[in-house]
Amino acid sequence: MVPVSLYLFLSVVLFSVGVVGVLTRKNAIIIFMSIELMLNAVNLSLITFSRMHGNLDGQLLVFFVMTVAAAEVAVGLAIIIAIFKKKDTVNVDEMNLMKW
């Protein structure tokens, strides 16, 4: 049987890869994909904990996380398309309308 810490280690590594992606990339779509990666890492740890404690509540939470992620992707990509129409770029450095 695979120990719990290995599953959590995989989750940590995936989450960190997502964090590095958000910190280093400038393409808004790739930043968005890194966020998806982080959501998946969290889902993995939720399922691991669910298995560790022997009840299904963690898996149900993952179900809702996936629902929210789907909604988030639809709205987020719509925003990216709207910005691209207006500014002709998806570089996050040029989206500074709300910069103080």
Partner 1 sequence: MELAIFIVLAVLAISSAVVVITQKSPVYSVLALVSTFFALAGIYVLLNAYFLAMIQIAVYAGAIMVLFLFVVMLLNLKEQYYVENPKKIIGGVLGLAFVFALLFPIFEIEKNLVPESQMPVGDAYNIGIRLFTDYVFPFEIASIILLIATVGAIVFTKKHS
Helix segments in 25-56, DSSP class H: 28-53
Task: Based on the shown chain and the rule CB under 8 A, indicate whether residue 78 belongs to the binding site for partner 1.
Answer: yes
Q: Which of 35, 42, 87, 89 binds partner 1 (CB under 8 A)?
A: 89
Count the residues of the shown chain that bind partner 1, applying the rule CB under 8 A.
71
What tokens were used for 36? Answer: 């998806």
26: Cβ contacts below 8 Å, ≥ 6 apart: 91, 92, 93
Q: Which of 67, 87, 96, 98 binds partner 1 (CB under 8 A)?
A: 67
Q: Binding mask 14-53 vs partner 1 (x if CB under 8 A, - otherwise)?
A: xxxxxxxx-xxxxx-xx-xxx-xx--x--xx--xx-xxxx
For CA atoms 33, 80, 67, 65, the dihedral sign is positive
Looking at the Cβ atoms of 83 and 100, the one nearer to partner 1 is: 83
